[in-house]
Chains A and B, each alone.
Chain A
Amino acid sequence: MRYESDKQPGPYGPPGDAPRLIGQGSIWIMAAAPTIWAVHFVASYVLAAVWCAKIGASLVTPAWIIAAMGLVCAALIVWLGVIAVRRYGGVFVIFEEITESSERGRDRFIGHVSLLLCILSVVAIGFTVIPGLILGSC
């Protein structure tokens, strides 16, 4: 498979370029998807708590807001998953061990872990959204 780290084996781009936060050897992509899930979870919790305490007993409106936020967050995570595949060469299933001590080997490992975390985070966001949509009341 061809991916960008084949073309740019070093951790950073050409001299003078600032390093990207996500891409080219940075490990932040691994933390990004779970962080998006955590932010969505806390925002959902705070929204539902404030709504139930201050506004009313029906959870229908905040449930749809939480679902809409969930869609946006899921889209962001899908974008991260695409980066994990394209820039890092991440694959869903690894059929041979990654033992290569090289930039490419590290990228593949980070890409694989990030892709799995992206999938897990999307499922977790679903678990946050579903209860509000079904229960509909405080």
Chain B
Amino acid sequence: MRRIFLLGLPLVLGACEGRHNWLASGGAEAIRVEQLFWVLVVGAAVIWTLVIGAAVYAHRRQVDPSLEKQARQFIIWGGAVIPTVVVCALLVWGLVILRDITTKEGDLTVRVDGERWWWRVIYESPEGDVVTANEIRLPVDNTALFKLTADDVIHSFWVPALGGKMDMIPGRETELTLTPVETGSWGGLCAEFCGGAHALMRFDAIVMEEAAFNDWLAHEASPAEVAQDDAGLGVFLDEGCGACHTIRGTEAVGPVGPDLTHLASRERLGAGIYDMTPDNMAAWITDTHEMKPDIDMPPYPNLDGARLDQLVAFLMSLD
């Protein structure tokens, strides 16, 4: 038993720190959920202590028939009336939190479409939609309204450090708001089992100062700065990558896979799972299914030497 406890402890404590820490107070919505959590934990500890204390007291005390009436009243109040009132109060409190984190107006609107197994991200702006993927950047102290949907199976959108999670359902649009209160990089993930690479369906949620965010969004909206005679772009188009991927400013306009216009500006590759390095990029292209099983993108094992180098250099230049 002790061994099981010791083995399990790192798993439990592992959730208490790092990028996915849901007690990090990184967002206004997360802080409200945390408050509910701590009240539940402390309340449960108090109730547990009282119940066990009463049981020990009752076990040690001699039976006194004259107190039976009081004992029954105690059971009725302590075992039925008070729990009913407490559960009702917690239900109302939880529902009010749920209402507040799902129906607020946003300072900006972000549409996220859950795909297998990556995230299509679209920022709504007055100048038009800004399409990106697998990384979400937010301005601090602003409320972002997320409009969530899914392509073919149910996913769930969750940035534990920033707020609550919400299912993404094909054919429906669900809403969630996040109001980050400090800058930093947090981890986001799919919280609903969605198939083979579910555990590798992640993203970075990067919270920036508002001015920096506006600069980033303006840059993200611009087309890629690519020379049309770039050798790497030639490889990209020759291999048919443009049938699935879009790089704005080039002939590649495929709508199936992630938009790659500013791919190298993202911190991670493969939907939040590998550092954005040339080596990882090369491995992603040649050993795709080793890097991330079950995904639709085919591997290109025969692409090597100069052509692979040109393609990797081209993709790493898309910042």
Contact = CB atoms under 8 A, between A and B. Distances in A.
Given A134-B96, A137-B103, A93 B91 contact: no
Given A134-B95, A134-B99, A136-B99, A123 B68 contact: no
Interface stretch (B69-77, B196-204, B253-261): B69-77
B214 interface: no
A105 to B, nearest CB: 19
A131 interface: yes
Contact of A130 (B72, B92, B102): B92
Contacts of B73: 93
Interface of B is mostly: helix
B84 A123 contact: yes
A92 B81 CA distance: 12
Nearest to B68: A95
Nearest to B99: A135
A95 B95 contact: no
Interface residues of B, number: 15
A126 interface: yes
Given A93-B73, A95-B69, A123-B84, A135 B91 contact: no
A127 interface: yes
A136 B91 CA distance: 15
Contacts of A131: 91, 95
A126 B96 CA distance: 16
Given A126-B88, A127-B91, A95 B96 contact: no
B69 A134 contact: no
Contacts of B91: 127, 130-131
Contacts of A92: 76
Contacts of A126: 88
Given A93-B76, A123-B84, A137-B103, A130 B69 contact: no
Given A93-B73, A95-B69, A95-B72, A135 B95 contact: yes
Interface string B194-218: 0000000000000000000000000
A16 to B, nearest CB: 43
Contacts of A123: 84, 88
Interface of A: 92-93, 95, 123, 126-127, 130-131, 134-137
Question: Which 7 pairs, one residue from A and one from B, show the smallest C-beta to C-beta distance?
Answer: A134-B95, A135-B99, A131-B95, A93-B72, A134-B99, A137-B103, A123-B84
5 contacts: A93-B72, A123-B84, A135-B98, A135-B99, A137-B99
